[in-house]
Amino acid sequence: MNIAEDRLMTIWEGCLKNDRKQQEQLYRLLAPRMLAVCMRYATDKDEAQDILQEGFIKMFRNMNNYRGDGSLEGWIRRIMVHCAISRYRKLKPMVLVEDFAAESSMPMSKSYNDNGLEAKDLMKLIQKLPKTYRSVFSMYAIEGYSHQEIGNSLGMTELLSRTTLYRARNVLKEMIAKLTSREQHCLAG
């Protein structure tokens, strides 16, 4: 265990004893990282903060369920993802936005690194995706879920998860192409 994990486990032990100061310390320590996780599923920062709060409430209510099998931070991250998925299920109309996801005939001519985009820029583009696309893309490409797990979590078939991911990627490619061509036009003009 490294120093950070050791410190986290010490704080966790205080949380299990219902020590409010330790609970606040855990929140302050992990909230920025968990907010980044929530931002992958939210349309904006306010929605991400709502998911974050729901996640921490759920985590504090279920503290005794952590068995120590994996990392504590990983366990908390999964709670945040599940809260985002639950929120999505409550709010979603299960409709894919077809006109938004028109098939792209414009292949990406440049790689992600070559076009000058930073991770924060890509995250902003992901947040502009429709909820279904954003959730499937985030779960698959960022969190590492399988299409079967995504389908089970979001109430869709594995095939629909694959199709949605394909469409989300195409929409992202279009967004990136538009963004980079706009930037190149500004530099040239």
pLDDT tens by residue, 115-171: 456 777 888 888 899 989 999 999 998 888 999 999 998 889 999 999 999 999 999
Q: Return d(Cα 83, Cα 162) in angstroms, integer.
A: 22
Architecture of domain 119-188: Orthogonal Bundle (1.10)
Q: Return d(Cα 134, Cα 126) in angstroms, integer.
A: 6
CB 87 within 8 A of CB 51: yes
Domain boundaries in the chain? 3-91, 119-188
Q: Return d(Cα 116, Cα 70) in angstroms, integer.
A: 36
Same fold for the pair 3-91 and 119-188: no
**pTM confidence score:** 0.60
Task: Return the percentage of the chain with pLDDT > 90, whole number.
Answer: 50
Architecture of domain 3-91: Orthogonal Bundle (1.10)
SS3 assignment for 96-119: CCCCCCCCCCCCCCCCCCCCCCCH
* Angle at alpha carbon of residue 74, lines to 151 and 42, rounded to 5°: 55
